[in-house]
Amino acid sequence: MKRIISIIFIITLLFAGGSFAKKPLTTDAFAEYYDTSNYFSTLEYKAKMTIRYKDGTVKEKIYKAYFIGEDKALIKVIVPSADSKVRLLKLGKEMYLYMPKLKQGVLLDENARKKPFLGSDLTYEDIVTNEMITGKYDIDIVTKDRYKRKHRCVVIELTSRDDDRDYYQQILMVNTPYYFPWEKLYFSKDGKLLKKFTTLEHKLVRPDAKHPATKYEVDDMSRSDTVTTIEIFFMKHSHEISEDYFTLEYLKQ
């Protein structure tokens, strides 16, 4: 009888959301859960970027991405042929763009990093971002009682501790069982809505049973003619990635 009760108790805990359900949702707990689910020590993926224009035009790009922590990232464009071999390298605070026609890596200045990446609704900075929120934002739990696709969600407001950050404030609708964002709204310091990210699909990715968005839509509010969709069809994380990818020599290969 005791064994049956124990099994029922374990099943109840699992369906309540696992370890995330055992602690009260304080701001510190939220940051811990969110970073555990959304930050990658290493990450590799392949994705299709679809840019849809209001006039009916559709452009597709396929690229591979590699990340080590917050400071190293490499984007390699594969398709179409006109953009193949375009590469973007992030090394700490520096960012380099390799264009085959120039045959060299160009150091991007602050203004260039904020421009659309290959005409998409993502900037050059957006596409190489992989960061924790812990220690970078003040967190306010707005509400714990929202629902999205029958999943219970919390609405969180993040305010940057860095006054110079472009996305100074974020409002997130976060799935609480798995702590991935259904929606992210990015605002400037003066309260202007800059960008909207909407999760269309998420999947379980092991190890660590993360549930990242594997298909999402990006809408840059400063542009009225486009919407960009990113669909990830291969993802691997928490594995060893060669440091050779993150060099100026590799950028030019």
CATH number at residue 148: 2.50.20.10
Start-to-end CA distance of the chain, whole Å, equals: 66
pLDDT of residue 16: 39
Q: Is 234 inside any structural domain? A: yes
Tell me which of 18-27, 106-115, 173-182 is least confident: 18-27
Domains in the chain: how many in total?
A: 1
Q: Residue 129: its pLDDT value, please?
A: 96
Does a structural domain hold residue 9?
A: no
Residue 23: predicted pLDDT: 61
pLDDT for 191 beyond 80: yes
Domain housing 185: 22-251
Identify the pLDDT of residue 100: 82
Torsion sign, CA atoms 82, 201, 174, 211: negative
In the chain, the DSSP E strands lie at 42-53, 58-68, 72-79, 87-91, 94-99, 104-107, 137-148, 151-160, 169-175, 181-187, 193-202, 213-220, 226-237
pLDDT by residue (tens digit) across 54-99?
Answer: 999 999 999 999 999 999 999 999 999 888 889 999 999 999 999 8
Number of residues in the chain: 253
The answer to whether residues 96 and 108 touch, using CB atoms and an 8 Å cutoff, is: yes
Answer yes or no: is 97 within a domain: yes
Residue 15 lies in a domain: no
The answer to whether residue 86 sits within a structural domain is yes
17-63 confidence digits (pLDDT tens): 444 445 678 999 999 999 999 999 999 999 999 999 999 999 999 99
